[in-house]
Chains A and B, each alone.
Chain A
């Protein structure tokens, strides 16, 4: 079975631009979570979507938004990019809302210049 997939792999954007990151969960998984990992730090929770509804939100500004589609894939959108948004964005999927076993994708490396 395919694991969690994310696209694109790498992305370079300019301050003030908008970005959309995509994630496809493992087949059968209904929960998708997004994390931001700044270099040298642990991942920080951004959002969780379960059954197409937002079930959790971390301490991120409203510039960050996400949604989950009927096929359980998900998009993370970031508006008005700042230099500090440069990070590895990780998507994780799990069967249930509680992340008993959460499987991570390879991530999208976003660089804001």
Chain B
């Protein structure tokens, strides 16, 4: 069975702190894609990153970085020097190449950045 677990339901930090959002996934497939999406209060899901299962290279984009480790089935997301505008619900998601269309989302982590 395929599954995405985001164990942290809510996180609250003070602005400028670093914060890491955890994501653990389960699949027996060898070809798959992992995603992170941001959902601000407006409700629209915003695509942040996609990673395929053959590329374990970590990625950095500005204050955002992602750590993909197949050995632990984790795809964690770190925000450095957090800002109030980072407050949102963040979803980790899994797409299997074999099932093409279906994306399996985790339950999300609500991140609140306090000024």
Note whether A and B form a binding pair. Answer: yes
Q: Are A48 and B102 in contact (CB under 8 A)?
A: yes
- Which size bracket describes the interface of B in this complex? 20 to 34
Nearest-neighbor residue (CB-CB) of A109 within chain B: B43
Contact among B33, B47, B100 for A56, CB-based, below 8 A: B100
Nearest-neighbor residue (CB-CB) of B6 within chain A: A42
Q: Are A55 and B33 in contact (CB under 8 A)?
A: no
Contact among A48, A58, A98 for B97, CB-based, below 8 A: A98
Q: Are A42 and B47 in contact (CB under 8 A)?
A: no
Instruction: Tell me whether A43 and B45 are in contact in the complex, defined as CB-CB below 8 angstroms, given that A48-B101, A56-B101, A98-B100 are known contacts.
Output: yes
Q: Are B101 and A43 in contact (CB under 8 A)?
A: no
Instruction: Give the residues in chain B near A99, CB-CB below 8 Å.
Output: 33, 95, 101, 103
A interface residue numbers (CB < 8 A to B): 31, 33, 40-45, 48, 50, 55-56, 58, 88, 90, 92, 97-107, 109
